[in-house]
Amino acid sequence: MNQTNDAALAAAEAYNREFLVFSLGDEEYAVDILKVQEIRGYENVTRIANAPDFIKGVTNLRGVIVPIVDLRIKFHLDKVEYGGQTVVIVVNVEDRVVGIVVDGVSDVMTLSPDQIKPAPEFGVTLSSDFLSGLGSLEDRMLVIVDIDKLLTSDEMELVDRVAE
């Protein structure tokens, strides 16, 4: 009996995932915490010519050149300001390091599987392909971003597709 209980507990724990919650304007988003490498301020970004506007440029992260993407521009938010609160979440995606600019980071949440609802089919700016679901937390709704898919997608123009 004990063994079964333990196994069930372990399974439940395995399904409970932790997410880093960040804000873009008034909306709350979440990414898998395991993808996050660090959080730092927005500074010293070198512009890259002829790149899409949401690619702010590259920065030096302890000797590594890291591209910085502003998700607010990508998601067509009205207000894009850079101030003391602006932070960069540095994520690790498919052996690449990318920084994403967000308005703020609030907290780390643990969500159980039943708190994650499938994302509805919608979205012109943010295709539901790039969402792992919607997290419901009492009166809050978290948009859970599949950061792997999003950042390696063609429309982010971050990755060279095998060019002919």
- Footprint of other proteins (CB under 8 A): 44, 46-51, 57-60, 62-67, 96-98, 157-160
Count the alpha carbons within 13 Å of 69 in the hemisphere toward its beta carbon: 20
Beta bridge partners of 23: 28, 104
Nearer to other proteins, 139 or 160 (CB): 160
What would the two tokens of residue 31 be?
């990414």
What would the two tokens of residue 134 be?
């919607």
Size of the chain in residues: 164
Minimum distance between the CB of residue 84 and other proteins, rounded to whole angstroms? 19
Nearer to other proteins, 7 or 65 (CB): 65
Minimum distance between the CB of residue 69 and other proteins, rounded to whole angstroms? 10
Minimum distance between the CB of residue 64 and other proteins, rounded to whole angstroms? 7
Q: What is the dihedral of CA 124, 69, 51, 59, to 10 degrees?
A: 180
Minimum distance between the CB of residue 62 and other proteins, rounded to whole angstroms? 7
Q: Indicate the SS3 state at residue 125.
A: coil
Nearer to other proteins, 81 or 160 (CB): 160
Burial of 140 (0-12, 13-18, 19+ CB in 10 A): exposed
Nearer to other proteins, 10 or 159 (CB): 159
